[in-house]
Amino acid sequence: MPSTDLLKLSATEIASKISGGELTSVRLIEALLSRIEEREKTVKAWAYIDPNIILEQARKSDQSGSLGLLHGVPIGIKDIIDTCDMPTQMGSPIYIDHQPLIDASCVALTRSAGALIMGKTVTTEFAGSFPGLTTNPHNHERTPGGSSSGSAAAVADYMIPVAFGTQTGSSILRPSSYCGIIGYKPTFGRFNIFGIKPAAQSLDTLGLHVRSMEDIQLFTSVLINRNFKPLESPSYFPKIGICRTELWDFALPETKLALENAATNLEESGAKVSDVKTPSSFKGLEEARILINCYERSRHMVYEWTEHRASLSMPFQEVINAGLNMSNDDYTAAMKQTEKCLNESNNMFQDLDLIIAPCVDGEAQLGLDFSGNPRFSGLWTAIRLPTLNLPTHLGPNGLPVSIQLVGQYRGDDKFLSIAKWVLQKLGSPSLKIS
Amino acid sequence: MPSTDLLKLSATEIASKISGGELTSVRLIEALLSRIEEREKTVKAWAYIDPNIILEQARKSDQSGSLGLLHGVPIGIKDIIDTCDMPTQMGSPIYIDHQPLIDASCVALTRSAGALIMGKTVTTEFAGSFPGLTTNPHNHERTPGGSSSGSAAAVADYMIPVAFGTQTGSSILRPSSYCGIIGYKPTFGRFNIFGIKPAAQSLDTLGLHVRSMEDIQLFTSVLINRNFKPLESPSYFPKIGICRTELWDFALPETKLALENAATNLEESGAKVSDVKTPSSFKGLEEARILINCYERSRHMVYEWTEHRASLSMPFQEVINAGLNMSNDDYTAAMKQTEKCLNESNNMFQDLDLIIAPCVDGEAQLGLDFSGNPRFSGLWTAIRLPTLNLPTHLGPNGLPVSIQLVGQYRGDDKFLSIAKWVLQKLGSPSLKIS
């Protein structure tokens, strides 16, 4: 198998080839390192990567018996997630060279299932809006999105099959959409977040950047500790709601076209597609999410605010200052709204298996200073539902445009099964990467 | 003012006297250190305390202008909460001498409001069930309760006016009841928990051990960042429900007597008291909480489990092993139950301002190996409601017995106001401490 083909393997395929003796970890890692060597100077996806550390892991892995489902599978780790053998710098000069004592739970779980920790991927400053240096692999003058910028770019650029990201607004789905891969934000709380620097703890969700639906199933099995069963499409035609949301006017033409076209194609494929509106309680939900984000974020950052204020970016300082001055009554009201919307969202799923909705405003914008608006994913993050972006369309500049899939609260297994069906029906346009 | 009287001051009184120039921090701290010197060898409330560090804080505080609401007020910190200037040992040999890089949010917030960080109070192993060395200040052969053992004992023993605790089951209310002080567990999420080692993140709540209701109001103001207004009793006679719960048969006679007597006295004081039953969805709720606790705890401890298993106590190893083998489906079902009960609890408060319920089985047991059963508080922790214990009664051995107060979800301000009224009416028996 030529090295370039190794780059395209999914994590599931890697696990299978390594356990079947067709591939060694060292060979795979050498191919990935060579890809990174070639591309990193323009993509800038990595905050920390040490070929010696990862090759040493690969050699040990090849010499040991299988440790578990992820034996020999490399993963990239967003750089707000603690690793015991690599620094966690959080996109901030305050944490330059900061070496955590222990692994975050998600790292420890994947490591003990045999995964190789490839390195740390670039995050915006503390997973906020101030960007890192990463560029969009499809066009280096455009943003990769954020905050999980390096995770999405590295997976899209074939530097790594899978990476951890976190989402507090749209930090997994937006960069995944801009970079043309799949991003999965599970139901809030499904994956353990201990050892991850919080942005806003009522919203923070650990998720995955992948190029294959199967890899979501594989990593889910490890993270919630169950046996692996391949993802199966449903044996019935799913009932799908198309929800334009009250933010529809913010969607650019390519996003509107993608969603309408997806609805038409899914109906032609046998799905029962109907319009669905968000309940009236959703009015102002994105503003509520922004308030919660700001209020909680400021309290997570009190130490840095007190001791290292000058090392925070000006936009970040403004967020913290605003958050510290918000009233607890307003915060409580916002939390109550999200809880009400979550409860009412269950009604939306009484006659629906899945909702499709806009994912991002449109294609990745020009420029690296602004990583894009989180509103279309933010709505669903606020109410804790499982979401996924599928890069099913292209925009006017030939860049990827995703639709967003939304599932019922705590219904992730059914959600992923139907998402697989949707992707089978819609397909994904091929993207040329140099 | 004689030194012994200084020991009895509440945090609110200390703040007032220091800002009024009647008291210096150094004088107060010297009195507290002398008390600790005298009593610590039997109470064993402190995991770490360095008189030089705290006296240096006091001297600086006396020399500076007021920093905020807590200027000069000392606080004890449960030893699973990170402090940048003292170790955080978590009741485990794995973390002996572990020095965190930064303060937990609650520490940073109180420190920047002028509080003095007195030291770290003993916790059970990772806030689980395996006890530390702390004894009950009222009887050294009896448990102080756990997991916030040192926090409750130090406040009860007049070593400190207030201490942080955390509750995942009954870890604030139980030791507070056993030691005869007030424990407050707010609505889940009200106080920021970043920088606290998680036990189970869907349940973990930061709260307070105090000897005065006013101190809850004072520290709440700092932790949620609002101006301080003294706590006011309601201007009406509250409607109070007495909820014996389905666990009533586990209550020892002293707990049953305390609750029935409290109901009678409150009715005689003008409250409208009525019986209230938990909805049928509460059946098995404590088992659901135990499952959630075990499932999540095991995932928070993956690193220690993998790398330092032999340094975990055997009971703790059993909990982690059990948790790692629990199915995600069972966990999801348990979480759904707690969410349903939380929603239905709002109905209980449609005609009630407050619920009183059993707090613990009874008096603190003999022996230091078992810190007591969490069930009576666990029920309400599982569904995230604000709770408080008031040490209103004595048991057959003259040891404190509390009633538990339960408030509506996110209704903490009203809850505390009515709790103040309840304590005014019921009073608190005086306890002799040597």
The pLDDT score that the predictor gives to residue A328 is 95
In a domain, residue B37? The reply is: yes
SS (HEC) of A126-176: HHCCCCCCCCECCECCECCCCCCHHHHHHHHCCCCCEEEEEECCCCCHHHH
Number of cross-chain residue pairs from A and B with Cβ atoms under 8 Å apart: 84
pLDDT confidence bin for B423, thresholds 50/70/90? very high
Within-domain flag for A34: yes
- How many CA atoms within 13 Å lie on the side-chain side of A246? 13
Which residue out of B94, B112, B303 would a mutagenesis test of the A interface target, given it has the greatest number of A Cβ atoms within 10 Å? B303
Asked whether residue B233 is domain-assigned, the answer is no
**Among candidates B202, B300, B336 on the partner chain, residue whose Cβ is nearest the Cβ of A194:** B300
Contacts of B201 in chain A (CB under 8 A): 189, 192-194
- Would an 8 Å CB–CB cutoff place B101 in contact with chain A? yes
HSE-CB of B4 using CA atoms within 13 angstroms:
3
- Shortest CB distance from B328 goes to which of A98, A226, A306? A226
pLDDT tens-digit readout, B203-215: 999 999 999 999 9
Residues B155, B67 share a domain = yes
- The segments of chain A whose pLDDT lies below 50 read none
Residue A108: list chain B partners with CB under 8 A: 302-303, 306
pLDDT of residue B434: 59
**CB-based burial of residue B322 (10 Å sphere; 0-12 exposed, 13-18 middle, 19+ buried)?**
middle
Residue B305: exposure state from Cβ atoms within 10 A (0-12, 13-18, ≥19): buried
Contacts of A182 (CB under 8 A, 6+ apart): A176, A209, A210, A211, A212, A213, A216, A388, A389, A390, A391, A423
pLDDT value, residue A4: 87
Residue B206 included in any domain = yes
Answer yes or no: do B302 and A224 touch at CB < 8 A.
no
Verify that B126 and B250 share a domain, yes or no: no
Secondary-structure percent of chain B, ordered helix, strand, coil, rounded to 5? 45, 15, 40
Q: Locate all alpha helices (DSSP H) within B20-63, ordered by sequence.
A: 25-43, 51-63
Distance CA A118, CA A57 (A): 9
CB contact set of B405 (below 8 Å; sequence gap of 6+):
B354, B355, B356, B357, B387, B388, B389, B390, B415, B418, B419, B422
Are B63 and B155 within one domain? yes
Question: Is residue A335 domain-resident?
Answer: no
Rounded Cα–Cα distance for residues A388 and A217 (Å): 13
Which DSSP string do the residues of A361-396 spell out, in sequence order?
Answer: SSSPPBBSS-----HHHHHHHHTT--EEEEEEEE-T
Backbone angles phi, psi at B389, to 5 degrees: -110, 140
Mean pLDDT throughout B410-423? 98
Q: Which residues contact A119 (CB under 8 A, 6 or more apart)?
A: A46, A47, A48, A49, A50, A54, A76, A77, A86
Please spell the DSSP secondary structure of B282-307, one letter per residue: GTTHHHHHHHHHHHHHHHHTHHHHHH
List, by residue number, the catalytic residues of B.
78, 147, 171
Q: For residue A68, count CB atoms less than 10 angstroms from its CB and return exposed for 0-12, middle for 13-18, buried for 19 or more.
A: middle
| Stated pTM of the model | 0.97
Q: What is the reported pLDDT for A434?
A: 59
Please name the residues in contact with B63: beta carbons below 8 A apart, sequence gap of 6 or more.
Answer: none
Q: What is the pLDDT of residue A432?
A: 76
DSSP for B402-430 reads: EEEEE--TT-HHHHHHHHHHHHHHH----
Domain-embedded: residue A323: no
B213 & B181 share domain = yes
pLDDT-wise least confident of A216-225, B58-67, B381-390: B58-67
Measure the CA–CA gap between B392 and B28, rounded to whole angstroms: 28
Instruction: Report, as an integer, the average pLDDT of B154-169.
Output: 98
Q: Does residue B130 have a pLDDT over 70?
A: yes
Query: CA of A327: which chain B residue's CA is closest?
Result: B226
ipTM: 0.95
Q: Which tokens is A418 given?
A: 């139907």
Q: Is residue A342 part of a domain?
A: no
Are B123 and B270 members of one domain? no
Are B268 and B307 contained in the same domain? Answer: no
Residue B3 has pLDDT above 90, yes or no: no
User: What average pLDDT does the structure give for chain B?
Assistant: 97
pLDDT at site A272: 98
Which of 193-212 (B) contact A at CB < 8 A?
193-195, 198, 201-202
Could you give phi then psi for residue B255, rounded to 5 degrees?
-70, -40
**Where residue B67 falls among pLDDT bands split at 50, 70, 90?**
confident
pLDDT at B430: 87
Helix (H) or strand (E) holding A347: helix A328-348
Sheet with B182-185: list strands edge to edge: B46-48, B116-121, B74-78, B162-167, B205-210, B182-185, B387-394, B400-406, B354-358, B239-242, B272-275
Query: By the CB < 8 Å criterion, does A283 face chain B?
Result: no
Phi, psi for A143 (deg, rounded to 5): -65, 145
Residues in chain A: 434
pLDDT in tens, B234-287: 999 999 999 999 999 999 999 999 999 999 999 999 999 999 999 999 999 999
Tokens encoding B272: 């409208």
Q: In this structure, are B10 and B145 located in the same domain?
A: yes
DSSP line for B381-400: HHTT--EEEEEEEE-TTS-E
Query: Does pLDDT of B32 surpass 90?
Result: yes
Residue numbers of the domain that contains A77: 1-274+348-434
Phi, psi of B77 (to 5 degrees): -120, 120
Residue A45, CA distances (Å) to A120, A148, B360 in order: 9, 10, 54
Residue B112 shares a structural domain with residue B80:
yes
pLDDT digits (tens, 9 = 90+) for B301-314: 999 999 999 999 99
The one-letter amino acid at A77: I
A19 is catalytic: no
| B111: nearest Cα among B91, B82, B80, B88 | B82
The single-letter DSSP state of residue B238 is P
Residues B196 and B299 both lie in one domain: no
Q: How many domains does chain B have?
A: 3
Chain A, window 331-390: residues with a beta carbon less than 8 angstroms from a chain B beta carbon: 332, 335-336, 343
For A202, the token pair is 């009522």
Q: Which of B202, B225, B327 sits opposite A226 (nearest CB)?
A: B327
What's the per-residue H, E or C state across A280-336? HHHCCHHHHHHHHHHHHHHHHCHHHHHHCHHHCCHHHHHHHHHHHCCCHHHHHHHHH
Same domain assignment for residues B101 and B180: yes
> Contact A55/A62 with Cβ under 8 angstroms?
no
CATH number at residue A73: 3.90.1300.10
Out of A102, A201, A328, name the one closest to residue B226 (CB). A328
Same-domain check for residues B101 and B85: yes
In a domain, B431, yes or no: no
* Chain A residues inside the 8 Å CB shell of B299: 105, 109, 192, 194
Q: What distance in Å separates the CA atoms of residue A284 and residue B30, rounded to the nearest whole number?
A: 54
What's the pLDDT at B286? 96
Q: Are residues B22 and B152 in the same domain?
A: yes
**B189 interfacial to chain A (CB closer than 8 Å):** yes
Predicted confidence (pLDDT) per residue in B332-347, tens digit:
999 999 999 999 999 9
